[in-house]
Chains A and B, each alone.
Chain A
Amino acid sequence: MIETVILVVQVALGIGGLVALVRVIRGPSLADRIIGLDLLLLLLAGGVATTGHPEEDLLVPVLIVVTLIAFAGTIIVARFIEWRDTE
């Protein structure tokens, strides 16, 4: 039962990733693409989390790194957009 739910959730996350890609490709602005990429990373982290097992030592570092990259990446691009538009 639990395995089935986990599988369903993973499929949902996979579909979500494909849907988010639509926004990354369509844009139209850079901010829209970054929203899509940020979400893609969070969905990836969600997928990693569903494989979670207490003895799995890699899980925590991977979760931290992925969410940190999503956060830092979004902020860097946001700064870039402001810099580009005020130059």
Chain B
Amino acid sequence: MSALDVLGTVVMAAGGALSLLAAIGIVVFPTTLARMHAATKSASLGLALLAIGIGIVAEGWGLFAVGLLLAAFLFGTAPISGHMLGRAAYFAGQTEGLVHDDLAGVDLRPLHVVERAERGFSVPRWFLLLVVWVVFWRDPTVAVLAGGAIVAAIVEMLLTTTPGVTRVRPAAVIVFLVRYFGMVVVSNLRVAREVLNPGHDGIREAIVAAPLSTDSIFVATLVANAITFTPGTLTVELTDDPRVVYVHVLQFSSVEEIHEQVADLERLVSAAFAA
């Protein structure tokens, strides 16, 4: 067995273990919102590790790239579905077990709509879409490249631009991604520990309102998305005015701790993307 085989096997085994823990978690956790922690955090990382692990073992670099793309897709979408389902569950009245609730009494418009931004064409984003296309075809022939260039251009023209991104700082982006990866691992370990803890007595659920200081919608969205994969927290709602993110906490100790955690994340994202 080569070193790559060992690495791939370990990654895959971790993915399988996390997937199983996610399933156990959604059965043993006491409330809907607590179950969502297991379903979003553990299941996403579990599937991502499975796909990446099999890519390493098969030594098919195309498959490995697909695994990474799938991971990126899961980490982008899981917080969205988690947020929407958590919000729906909260408004459906599933608030039992909360020791602290900042959302109580807040009048939120159901399904509120943010105003549309103007359309625009961004070459870097077009190129990114083209790369995704080629990775999925796994065969960069002229036809694939040409088809990808056209499809990416159409998608790019139909997309709305996100206001507030004026600069991307590569070094800060790498710092953010490394820290973010660390947070993902820690948050999964904390959920796993709670699943395996027979009494689940570490669970103290709360919803905390954490104010954001950024005026960029892009940064606010990215922070809200990333919170779902940081330790013990899950975004339930993001309001625009005032800009506040409501976070569901699995193992609540203090409001200040959550404020600190969100502010730390916001600093990282702002350093990478804000003007």
Give A residues with C-beta under 8 Å from B: 1-2, 5-6, 8-10, 12-13, 15-17, 19-20, 22-23, 26, 29, 31-32, 34-36, 38-39, 42-43, 45-46, 49-50, 52-54, 59-60, 63-64, 67, 70-71, 74-75, 77-79, 81-83, 85-86
Contacts and interface: CB of A to CB of B under 8 A. Distances in A.
12 contacts: A9-B12, A9-B16, A13-B19, A17-B23, A29-B32, A32-B26, A35-B36, A43-B43, A59-B66, A63-B66, A75-B80, A82-B111
A55 B1 CA distance: 22
Interface of B: 1, 5, 8-9, 12-13, 15-17, 19-20, 22-24, 26-27, 32, 35-36, 39, 43-44, 46-47, 50-51, 54-55, 57-60, 62-63, 66-67, 70, 73-74, 77-78, 80-81, 84-85, 87-89, 91-94, 110-111, 136, 138
Contacts of B8: 2
B20 A52 contact: no
Contact of A38 (B50, B67, B81): B81
B12 A39 contact: no
B26 A42 contact: no
Contacts of A29: 32, 89, 92, 94
Give the 10 A-B CB pairs with smallest separation, nearest first: A54-B60, A9-B16, A16-B23, A78-B84, A81-B88, A74-B81, A52-B54, A19-B23, A31-B89, A78-B88
A63 B70 contact: yes
A1 B20 contact: no
B23 A20 contact: yes
B92 A16 contact: no
A48 to B, nearest CB: 9
Contacts of A5: 9, 12-13
Nearest to B59: A54
**Interface SS of A by simple majority:** helix
Contacts, number: 169
A85 B111 CA distance: 12
Given A1-B9, A67-B74, A85-B92, A52 B51 contact: yes
A71 B84 CA distance: 11
Given A2-B5, A5-B12, A43 B58 contact: no
Contacts of B24: 16, 19
Contacts of A31: 32, 85, 88-89, 92, 94
Contacts of B57: 2
Given A6-B54, A9-B15, A81-B88, 7 more contacts: A2-B5, A32-B32, A52-B54, A54-B62, A79-B84, A79-B88, A82-B88
A81 B74 contact: no
B234 to A, nearest CB: 12
A15 B36 CA distance: 19
Nearest to A53: B58
Contacts of A6: 12, 54
A8 B19 CA distance: 13
Contacts of A67: 47, 70, 73-74, 77
A33 to B, nearest CB: 10
Q: Which residue, B43, B63, B80, has most C-beta atoms of chain A within 10 A?
A: B43
